[in-house]
Chain A
Amino acid sequence: MDRWFGGASALVGRREELAAVRAALTEGGCLIAGSAGVGKSRLAAEAVGDEGVVRVIATAAAGSMPFGAFGHLLPADAGSGPPGVSDLIAAVRGLCADREGDRPALLVDDVHLLDDASAALVLAVALSGAATVLLTVRSGEPSPDAITSVWKERVVDRVDLQPLSRSEVRLLVDELLGGRVHTLVYDWIYDLSRGSPLYVAELIAGSRRTGRLLERDGRWQLTGAPAEFGRLGELIEANVRRVSPAARRALEVLAIGAPLTLAQVERLASPEAIEELEDGGLARMTSGLGARVGMELAHPLYGEVILDALPGSAARRLRRTVAEVLARDCGDNQFEQLRVATLLLQAGTADPDRFLAASPLALRHGAPELANRLAEAAGGGLDGALSLARARSAIGRFDDVEPILARYERRVSRASATVAASYAQTRFRALLRGAGGGEAAHVVLDRMADWHNDLDWRALIAVQRASAELYQGAPARAREHLLPFMHAEGLRPDRRYDLLIMAILATSRLGLVEDRAALDRRLEQLVATYADAPWEAAIGVVRVDVLSHLNAGPDLDAIGARAQRALGDARASDDRQLQGMLAYILGELMLVRGHAAQALEHFQTAQDGLTLGDPLNAAGEVLLSIATARALLGELEEACRALDEAEAFIARRPGMGQRLAPAAARARAMIDAAAGRESAARDQLIRLARSAGEDVVTEVEALYGALGLGADPNACADRLAILASGAQGEIVGLFAAQARALAGGDVAAQLVLAQRFEAAGLDLTAAEAAVRAAAAASQDGLHDLSRRAASLAVRCATRCPGVLTPALRVPIDTPALTAREREIGVLAARGLSNAEIAATLVLSVRSVETYVLRVCRKLGVNSRTHLIEELGGSAWRPLDRRAVARARATR
């Protein structure tokens, strides 16, 4: 059989592209984008070489299951938990021994076909920097979010590969045919291929085999009229049709079952068929782990074409056959078990036990849709219903859960407490998040309360009731449910954990900071000694820290450090879902401080993590916080878009409406304020304060926000004073004192309060208070006080880059730095030397020295060290020097 050229054709006309890709690889990685057949895979293979490179082809078939494309790379014992970056990197390293000294290389073809879990794994590997990552993607195809992030966030460079020119096609034709070629052949091939190398190769291979292209008199020429072909897929299909039936079946096996080991292919296809595919260049051997050799199609397009042409019934039969072969090898590897179950499900084969076992695996591997389909196919019974309910919850179909579980209520009421607890928690969580919300949850809880009478059961019901009360904005009632159990002996650790978390959230919303601190210590002790802690325990402490931020006061730095440590631990353990949760929490913390740009980065990370699961039910909050952060940054259009998304989210989950109402009102107010509609923003916040009920934190925040937008300071001061008298900790008292100082025009008190806010870590609040103090002092002719307040305002506002609230727009007597002076002052404060600043901004070192001197004079500081203190350098992130270099390159 003639060799097919498509997947292994010569690399012609790509010298410059190859140089660009290799340059990108030295800087961390590259994504090659382009249309089908333009030569992405061939260029990628050339760029990383042949030796010791791990190559993965993503396919539509493998993309239907979690980690589908990586199956042959992951160790056989990876099934005990989700595969992590370390597993993949270890696998890549194991195959790259001959690249000693170099970083291992991972080449993934057609990343747009990856499942979400695999895509997230690729992003994590690229971010870790532990392997050189080279990816190819088909232009115009939707990709998983993680893949878009890889190039959008510049983790790797993107190269868009273009079709060859006419002269480059000529070179390729010469290379493929050898010898002399008639000009008409060149023209015919270029006009049909429009510069697609794969099209060129397939056209030549097919035309030679059919005798349309012949070498005659030492020259390649066409015989008869030139044939017309349509799309590349049609051309490939025409060529594939000519292989033997056995080889065709082997192709179908590879298209449906990839990735497969050679041993598995040999059980599904004859040796002759395998040889025919290899000789024809349609398939090739690949390196697997250890002794496992894999086999794959030579080009991803072959698989697509073959699957398109395969009738549904034949595809189902083949999937069943492949699944049977895989089932023999999978042992207790959960990943392989899931793969077998998925293939059987796609084949329409009934295997309820296997599906029931696989559904939770799919959920754990971040594939809730697949978990749902498996649970649906698993059929009835309580176990099946619970699996289906959990899968439906995971995909946000909370209202489906009630009818699924309600029918088992009587049976579960007589079951063991363990079964009943699992049932109750699954049903309750869905009820709370569904249309019924807290009220519907209470009705069901009333019935469940009598199922058992032991302490643990009563505590479980109390926790669920408290959760419902918190959803309904009633933290005092939530606390009442919990109080009888707070010091009870003999509770299970997980129940005690839930009690403490709920109690901390309730006391926080009531402004009882000292009670919260005591509970916080108990929670820390519990987590430290709790051997089988649920994974959420790792973030429980951090979570309550941040969500009860109002009273955290001077502890904000410590809380931030603790959250960062937890995030570091989550990264080390490759837990992306946990990373997402912690990023959300850190974003909230940044937002409290007014660091909106940093908050936004964290929220975007959180959104990536939330695609893998949302156990904290934070998706709505994240959207609203994004809207708030964007409004603070003056990005009105994006803020409105995020708010629209959040409102659509709430419309889909009406039960969440009450819980999210305060955050939604705050986001709306921030958008109004940023758009200059300050009175509308103020009225919105006053309404929110009036409707806050038991929720002290919401009322305090809304009142203080309204005060900044021109609400009557006397009225605000009176109400805040009442709230401060019932609250613990200093922050509510400081807010009340600030309102009183504004009401009385006490400029000195305003400055002192601004300093207290700064000491508490509330940079934006401090900056706004200082601006007001500076403006008032200037009006009163108190110039020294005004200068000090202005300096404080500049220092605090500089820690909130990009933020511009109405209060910060008030003109004050600031040391008037020009844009250039400010830019250079900021770089100096971030620790760059004069020479580095000069190189970054393309200035002379002498000019930079002059600017730095001028900035120091204007800010009233006499050294670079003081400049750093004045501009808050230590509070900033270290400068991304690669980003600076890139900025210079594009300048």
Chain B
Amino acid sequence: MDRARAFDRLPTAYAIALRIAELDGDEAMIARALDVPVESVGRLLQIGESKLATLLAGDEPLSLDAKCGHRACQG
């Protein structure tokens, strides 16, 4: 999976945190954006990076693109 698509699959908060970090935003900026205390940003980034790595490695057990097979779902 490419990076952009992996970002889209992340829970929104982690995606925002990682984006800000990539743009050299500091922990205080991430904390303000997500309305979380700055003390928890380190762990939040750690979780976000792990989730991103999982998605990039293709470990996600279910793809959003997978259709259930029912004809009502195909359209």
Contacts and interface: CB of A to CB of B under 8 A. Distances in A.
A167 B68 contact: no
Nearest to A180: B68
B62 A170 contact: yes
Interface stretch (A17-25, A246-254, A399-407): A17-25
A15 interface: yes
Interface string B10-43: 1111100000000000000000001011011011
Given A24-B43, A159-B43, A171-B62, A183 B68 contact: yes
Contact of B73 (A168, A184, A195): A184
12 contacts: A15-B54, A16-B50, A19-B50, A151-B40, A152-B37, A159-B43, A160-B40, A165-B10, A165-B11, A171-B61, A183-B67, A195-B11
A158 B40 contact: yes
Given A16-B50, A33-B40, A159-B43, A219 B10 contact: no
Contacts, number: 85
B42 A162 contact: no
Interface string A158-192: 11101111111011001000001111100000000
A184 B72 contact: yes
A846 interface: no
Contact of A180 (B13, B37, B40, B69): B69
A154 B46 CA distance: 17
Interface of B: 9-14, 34, 36-37, 39-40, 42-44, 46-47, 50-51, 54, 60-64, 67-70, 72-73
A889 B46 CA distance: 12
B72 A182 contact: yes
B11 A183 contact: no
Given A16-B54, A162-B12, 14 more contacts: A15-B54, A16-B50, A151-B37, A152-B37, A152-B39, A162-B11, A165-B12, A167-B9, A171-B61, A180-B68, A182-B72, A183-B67, A184-B72, A195-B11
Contacts of A19: 50
A152 B40 CA distance: 10
B34 to A, nearest CB: 8
Nearest to A219: B70
Given A160-B44, A219-B68, A154 B10 contact: no
Interface of A: 15-17, 19-20, 24, 33, 139, 151-152, 154, 157-160, 162-168, 170-171, 174, 180-184, 195, 219, 221, 889-890
Contact of A167 (B42, B64, B70, B73): B64
B60 to A, nearest CB: 7
A891 to B, nearest CB: 12
A165 B64 CA distance: 11
Contacts of B12: 162-163, 165
B68 A181 contact: yes
Nearest to B75: A183
A158 B43 contact: yes
B72 A167 contact: no
B64 A162 contact: no
Contacts of A184: 72-73
Contacts of A157: 40, 43
The 5 closest A-B pairs by CB, nearest first: A16-B50, A162-B13, A183-B73, A158-B40, A165-B11
A17 B9 contact: no
Given A16-B51, A165-B11, A181-B68, A174 B62 contact: yes
Contacts of B69: 180
Nearest to A30: B43
Contacts of B14: 162
Question: Most chain-B Cβ atoms within 10 A of its Cβ — which of A16, A195, A221?
Answer: A16
A170 B67 CA distance: 12
Question: Most chain-A Cβ atoms within 10 A of its Cβ — which of B36, B43, B60?
Answer: B43
A195 B13 CA distance: 11
Contacts of A168: 11
B40 A20 contact: no
A20 B41 CA distance: 12
A152 B37 CA distance: 9
Contacts of A182: 68, 70, 72-73
B59 to A, nearest CB: 9
A158 B37 contact: yes
Contact of B62 (A17, A164, A167, A219): A167
A447 to B, nearest CB: 55
A670 B34 CA distance: 38
Contacts of B60: 167
B69 to A, nearest CB: 7
A163 B11 contact: yes
A171 B11 CA distance: 13
Contacts of A164: 11
Given A154-B39, A163-B11, A16 B47 contact: yes
A195 B44 CA distance: 17
Nearest to B51: A16
Contacts of B11: 162-165, 168, 195
Contacts of A165: 9-12
A171 B69 CA distance: 17
A180 B43 CA distance: 35
A33 B47 CA distance: 14
Nearest to A33: B40
A101 B5 CA distance: 45
B46 A20 contact: yes
A198 to B, nearest CB: 16
Nearest to B73: A183
Question: Most chain-A Cβ atoms within 10 A of its Cβ — which of B12, B34, B54, B73?
Answer: B73
A167 B60 CA distance: 9
A139 B72 CA distance: 40
A165 B51 CA distance: 11
Contact of B47 (A159, A166, A167, A889): A159
B42 to A, nearest CB: 6
A24 B39 CA distance: 13
Contacts of A181: 68
A295 B72 CA distance: 46
